[in-house]
A and B are shown apart, each in its own frame.
Chain A
Amino acid sequence: MRWRFLARRLAMLVASLLVASFVIFGALYLAPGNPITALSGGRALPAASLRVLEQRYHLNQPFLAQYWYWLDNALHGNLGISITLQENVSAVIAGRMWTTGGLVLYAALIILVVGIGSGILAALRPGIADTSVLVTTAVSAAVPSFVAAIVLITVFSVKLGWFPALGNGTSLGSNVRHLTLPAIALALSSLAIVARVTRAAVREEADREHVQTAISRGIPARQLIRRHILRNAAIPITTVSGITIASLIAVAAVVETAFSLNGLGAYLVQAAQSKDLAVVQGISLVLVVAFVLINAIVDLLYALLDPRVALGSRAQ
């Protein structure tokens, strides 16, 4: 039964990626004007450059053939050339991938540790802890990441000088320092949902009959939390954490712009502003693939953790 589920999930994954890549490629044709105008970003290019573009994108061939060429190239790591930078898009992406990856990982760590931690705290200690967690998360959920970014820079970077304000740093150690404020800004709005769901799930489990029984039998609290509550609560917590972390990939663009980090997201925005379509398509493809993969992994984890899943169709 598990295999059927896995196979179905894999098929969904491939289908998602294909459709997403099709949409990203097709955007070229949705643009006003013809594909050449779109690829040149509305700039006046010399005739020789226009011919090169036509050749590279096989613009004289039918649409599906063009899509196939593009996809084939993309799978081999060739995503075209940036009009503004005159550089290979793949080189541009490779240079910036680690910044975005590091930022998302760092933020994910913060979300997992602080979000899940405060959710558990709120669930198991009602009263002041519970209320303050609820209130803080409610407010932080409503603060856009770029507003958080500005405030963090002002307080922690300029006034207190604890963290640097811009750029990526040169060594591993300084990288971590440079990414701290951006990671916090990125994590802030997602903390709420993770904390809330954790709290609800843990509460629900704590109220369950078998847990109450265990309490009455005198099993120590820590063992109780670990063995009974958390393991069952893990399912919704993992799901929501996974989904939240996947969504970080998109919001990272805003945070990277606010902190002048040379990540994929920041460059995606700049390329969109200068209408450098090849770069926009290339980076979009990479980000969407990452997003879809993370979601697929979350689904797999969900399947692994919840034995009920393997047995029947998932409740939608």
Chain B
Amino acid sequence: MSAMIEVPAARIRPAAGGVAGLLRSAGIAGLVSAAAIAVATVLAVIGPLVAPYNPDLPSLGLAWVGPSGGHLLGFDFEGRDVLSRLLAGAQSSMIGPLAVVIGALALGTALAVLAAWRQGPLDSVISACLDILFAFPGILLAVLAAAVFGAGLTAAAIALSIAYMPYVARVLRGAALKERSQPYVAALEVQGASGTSICLRHIVPNMMPLIVAQATIMFGWAMVDLAAVSFLGLGVQPPAPNWGVMISENQPGILQGYPLPALAAGICIVVVVIAFNILGERLFARAQAARR
């Protein structure tokens, strides 16, 4: 998890140079990360279509066979093509974290802006509630949800959104407070703009760099947590292709001398998470710089 970086009070300056500026300041690491993320995203959409072989049909006689003609990563414990399963698995492996991020951001931003705008007792109540929500670590809530609603991606994703929401809200509340105290807000209020419109049209967009940065880093956490939940058998259920599931399914092979299927899935997770971490930190740095 990344540190909650306090955003210092600052004047607003629009992000220098837009996308071009982003690319320029991203550096090689940032570009490669963005590329990796792009590839993963594309695969999440078309993965099952581009898989060269059937990712679901077992063929026991081919179990654990290594890379050979056309099967670049060999076969898994049930004789299914590993590469095809990785490509097909990108979908559930990426959509889960996406849902978590969207959920946590939507809720967190709404609460943060509300608390910052109204301030006073409402702010205290919301802050207190958020502090209480911190009592639930993400995985614990996901396990509880699985016990109550049955194992599956939906329950786990909702649980993780709820668990991540306080972190988002805490960071964004600070930023929203600072935005609120900017002179342009007072000017808009004097002009008769409603609270909602000021929030939606000015405060939230000005916090966008921070929100995007937070979302990016959070995607990495969500990916790790959801893969863990699937590894425990409480998330995506086998035999559905999913990177976390593939690690637990092919775990026995590692001790038998066939580490490739499990490792390949693990590498996919690690690569995507590193990419999101690197990109997220770049975006955080930019968000900070933009406020100085």
The residues of A with any CB-CB pair to B shorter than 8 Å are 12, 15-17, 19-20, 23-24, 27-28, 30-32, 38, 138-139, 141-147, 150, 153-154, 158, 189, 193, 196-197, 200, 240, 244, 246-247, 249-251, 253-254, 257-258, 268-269, 271-273, 275-277, 280, 284, 287-288, 291-292, 295, 315-316
> CA–CA, A197 to B138, complex, Å?
22
Q: How far is the CB of A138 from chain B (nearest CB, A)?
A: 7
A254 close to B139 (CB less than 8 A): yes
Q: A16-B132, A142-B273, A144-B266 are in contact. Are A254 and B137 (CB under 8 A)?
A: no
A147 cross-chain contacts in B, Cβ below 8 A: 247, 266, 269-270
Chain B interface main SS type: helix
A257 cross-chain contacts in B, Cβ below 8 A: 231-232
Contact string against A for B residues 88-124, beta-carbon threshold 8 Å, 1 for contact and 0 otherwise: 0000000000000000000000000000000000000
Partner of A12, one of B131, B143, B273: B131
Q: How far is the CB of B150 from chain A (nearest CB, A)?
A: 8
Chain A interface main SS type: helix
User: Closest residue of chain B to A29, judged by CB?
Assistant: B148
Partner of B232, one of A27, A30, A247, A253: A253
Q: A38-B148, A251-B228, A288-B136 are in contact. Are A316 and B270 (CB under 8 A)?
A: no
B224 cross-chain contacts in A, Cβ below 8 A: 142, 144, 189
B259 cross-chain contacts in A, Cβ below 8 A: 154
User: Closest residue of chain B to A18, judged by CB?
Assistant: B132
B135 close to A19 (CB less than 8 A): yes
> CA–CA, A288 to B143, complex, Å?
13
Known pairs A32-B149, A271-B147 / 20 extra A-B pairs, C-beta < 8 Å: A12-B128, A12-B132, A16-B132, A30-B148, A38-B148, A142-B224, A143-B270, A144-B228, A144-B266, A144-B269, A144-B270, A150-B251, A150-B254, A154-B259, A197-B3, A249-B137, A272-B143, A280-B144, A280-B147, A291-B135
A269 close to B232 (CB less than 8 A): yes
A142 close to B220 (CB less than 8 A): yes
A254 close to B231 (CB less than 8 A): yes
A269 close to B234 (CB less than 8 A): yes
A20 close to B136 (CB less than 8 A): yes
B228 close to A268 (CB less than 8 A): no
B233 cross-chain contacts in A, Cβ below 8 A: 269, 273
Partner of A154, one of B2, B127, B254, B273: B254
Q: How many residues of B contact A (CB 8 A)?
A: 48
Contact string against A for B residues 269-291, beta-carbon threshold 8 Å, 1 for contact and 0 otherwise: 11001100110000000000000
Partner of A19, one of B132, B146, B270, B277: B132
18 pairs of residues in contact across A and B, judged by CB atoms under 8 Å: A12-B132, A139-B270, A139-B274, A146-B247, A146-B248, A153-B255, A240-B3, A244-B1, A247-B1, A249-B137, A250-B140, A251-B228, A253-B139, A253-B143, A254-B228, A316-B127, A316-B170, A316-B174
User: Closest residue of chain B to A28, judged by CB?
Assistant: B148
A292 close to B227 (CB less than 8 A): no
Q: A150-B247, A268-B143 are in contact. Are A16 and B228 (CB under 8 A)?
A: no
Q: How far is the CB of B89 from chain A (nearest CB, A)?
A: 15
Q: How far is the CB of A123 from chain B (nearest CB, A)?
A: 15
Contact string against A for B residues 1-13, beta-carbon threshold 8 Å, 1 for contact and 0 otherwise: 1110010000000
B148 close to A16 (CB less than 8 A): no
B266 cross-chain contacts in A, Cβ below 8 A: 143-144, 147, 150
> CA–CA, A9 to B249, complex, Å?
45
User: Closest residue of chain B to A146, judged by CB?
Assistant: B231
B247 cross-chain contacts in A, Cβ below 8 A: 146-147, 150
> CA–CA, A86 to B289, complex, Å?
60
Contact string against A for B residues 139-158, beta-carbon threshold 8 Å, 1 for contact and 0 otherwise: 11001101111110000000
> Is there a chain A Cβ closer than 8 Å to B184's Cβ?
no
Q: A247-B137, A284-B140, A316-B173 are in contact. Are A144 and B232 (CB under 8 A)?
A: no
A16 close to B232 (CB less than 8 A): no
Partner of A142, one of B6, B128, B232, B277: B277
B227 cross-chain contacts in A, Cβ below 8 A: 144, 146
Give the 4 A-B residue pairs with the shortest CB-CB distance, closest first. A250-B137, A272-B147, A142-B273, A147-B266
B228 cross-chain contacts in A, Cβ below 8 A: 144-146, 251, 254
> CA–CA, A284 to B149, complex, Å?
16
Among B2, B3, B6, the one with the most A-chain Cβ atoms within 10 Å of its Cβ is B3
> CA–CA, A312 to B270, complex, Å?
43
User: Closest residue of chain B to A247, judged by CB?
Assistant: B137
B144 close to A27 (CB less than 8 A): yes
> Is there a chain A Cβ closer than 8 Å to B260's Cβ?
no
> CA–CA, A189 to B273, complex, Å?
12
> CA–CA, A251 to B131, complex, Å?
21
> CA–CA, A253 to B254, complex, Å?
21
